[in-house]
Structure formats: structure tokens, C-alpha cells
Amino acid sequence: MKRVFITGVTGQDGAYLSALLLEKGYDVFGLVRRSSSADIVDAKLRWLNIHNDIRFVDGDVLDLSSLIRALRDVEPIEIYNLAAQSFVKSSWNQPLLTGQVTGLGAVNVLEAMRLAAPTARFYQASSSEMFGLVREPVQSESTPFYPRSPYGASKAFAHWMTTNYRESFHLHASNGILFNHESPVRGIEFVTRKVTDGAARIKLGLARELRLGNIDAQRDWGHSRDYVRAMWLMLQQDRPDDYVIATGRTTTVREMCRIAFQHVGLDAENHVKIDPDLFRPAEVDVLLGNPQKALAKLGWKPTISLEQMIEEMVDADMERWRQRMA
């Protein structure tokens, strides 16, 4: 069977990517670091009912030796580096950890690949947060980076190191500059899940209000299920390259709240409260991606609308709370 190695396999994208690759007949190996929360670490994989289909490998992106051993044992044809400290707000509280895991961790995976699996194909999960204080109204592969958080800066470092390994060692290494993408298994700390979970709790009488920060921030939101398909397509190309993956539509958090609350028959204006403590030290006001290169070269386009995604997430959160209340 075709073997694939995924770091960050227990995250949102790791779960949806694993599901996609299993459908395509891959043997999926996922790197898992030792954790005291091991009993819940595969919750997202369980939600998709694929937790028994993944072969877990002990290791850590901060431990080069474990990565080399893992790649020598697995002998993958594709490597997806999705591991990161990916919550932007936490990156301000943990800038050094974020730099190590999100930035240096990617270099460790690249170095392990160079030494142990140089013929494999590599995907680096870059981020629209690298654009930060945007230099152009619509961001493409050629838009300069201006990150506004330790997370964005760490992703930019990993992005350029991937480019350097590609050009210096002739590795098949591609960067996917993914704009915001969500799903029912998105972490509760992210604003989309905060909103859909809040709408569900208020509808069920478990809360009265939802406290948020800057609800006028604009983002280009898509669905993780669509975006992991783009990751896979990048590694099917003859030549490695960098691609922006986005919907080409930007929406405010305020509008996203309206969609979520309206889906359960509520008015967001009556329940959403602004909390100044939830604002970031340096805000990214608007992000809007241009996915034309991915459309032209990969044949990729999103299939799930923002409205469909938010409604799916609200329904999932309603079901979660109903199960807890039963």
C-alpha cells in the first residue's frame, strides 16, 4: 500500500486529511507525541470514525531523532507537516514555544526527510496569517508577508525554509498557503467554534450571551474537507510549488454570527457581547485570498459554502450538547 506520514494527525486538518487518504487507499501513519491527555487526543479522529484506521507513531517534531527513526520505519511516499501551535492568541502568551513547534518543528521534519526519505513528497501547512498587515487588497502567492503575531512569523519562517530545502536539496516540497478553514471538529478556542457552540448553548438554554473580541475582523473562510483535498492535489503534481487555497470571499465575524444564530432561530444582536480583553495585541483586520493558481494548475475549487459550513457546525454543537444533557 501507499504509505503516508502526517504530523499533526490529531488536529482538524490531520483528521480530514487522514479520512481522504484512507478513502484513496493509503496506509496512514500519524506522529503522536507523549501526552497526559492521551485518552482524548484522538477525539477528532473518533468524530470521523477513523481512529482505528490510523497507525500511530511515537515522536515529536522537536525531536529530530524520533522523526528520522519514524521516516526510516514508515518509508512514506508523502509527508504532510500539519503540526503547529496554531492558536494565534496563544502564540502571544507562548511565543517561544510557538516558534519552536511551528517554525523549527517544520525544519526538523524537512531535515529528517532529507536524511531518511529524500524521494518522498512533502507538504508544509503555511498560513494566511503570514500576510498579516496586508500589502495588497487580495493576497496571492506573490503578495509580500507582514505577519502580525508570533504564529504568523513562525509560519513564515517554516514557509521559507521549505522553499530553501526545495531549491537547495531538490526535494519535492510544496507550501499550501491556506486561508481560514473550519469544520465541526475545529477547536473550541477558535472563533468559529466559539460562535457555533455559543449559538447552540444559548438555544438550549445553557447560556444567555456570547463574549467575543473584534467582530468586525474579516476572514476568507472555507471548509477543512475542501482544503485537505488541495493539500493532496499539490503532492500529485510533477513539480513542487506554492499555492494559495482560499474561497475568494471575505466575511466579518459579525456576519458569521448572524448566520449561526439565525440557523437556530435567534438574533445574534441580542446575545453577542464585546469583550475588550479578547482583542489581540496586533489585529489582522482583513484577509482575502486569490485561489486562481490552484484553480488553474490543480483543478481545485471549494465545494462547501460558508453558510453550509456554519450550519453544519451549529448542528454538530447542538448534537454534542444534547448528548451531554441526556
Ordered by where they begin, the domains of the chain are 2-181+223-245 (3.40.50.720), 187-219+249-286+303-325 (3.90.25.10)
Q: Please pick, among 129, 182, 224, 312, the residue that the annotation labels catalytic.
A: 129
Task: Compute CA distances 57 → 4, 18, 60, 159, whole Å.
Answer: 12, 14, 9, 25
Total Cβ atoms within 10 A of residue 2: 12
- Report the SS3 class of residue 253: helix
Burial of 241 (0-12, 13-18, 19+ CB in 10 A): middle
Rounded CA gap, 83 and 254, in Å? 30
Rounded CA gap, 39 and 154, in Å? 29
Q: Please pick, among 18, 66, 86, 127, the residue that the annotation labels catalytic.
A: 127
- Is this prediction's pTM over 0.85? yes
Q: Please pick, among 151, 165, 227, 243, the residue that the annotation labels catalytic.
A: 151
* Bridge partners of residue 9, in order along the sequence: none
Q: Note if 151 is an active site residue.
A: yes
CA atoms 32, 36, 38, 42: torsion sign: negative
Q: Note if 142 is an active site residue.
A: no
Q: Is 114 left (phi over 0), alpha (psi -120 to 50) or beta?
A: alpha
Q: Along the 326 residues of the chain, how does pLDDT read in single tens digits?
A: 899 999 999 999 999 999 999 999 999 999 998 764 555 678 999 999 999 999 999 999 999 999 999 999 999 999 999 999 877 878 888 999 999 999 999 999 999 999 999 999 999 999 999 999 999 999 999 999 999 999 999 999 999 999 999 999 999 999 999 999 999 999 998 999 999 999 999 999 999 999 999 999 999 999 999 999 999 999 999 999 999 999 999 999 999 999 999 999 999 999 999 998 888 777 778 999 999 999 999 999 999 999 999 999 999 999 999 999 98
CA atoms 10, 11, 12, 18: torsion sign: negative
Q: Note if 127 is an active site residue.
A: yes
Rounded CA gap, 248 and 189, in Å? 25
Rounded CA gap, 323 and 189, in Å? 21
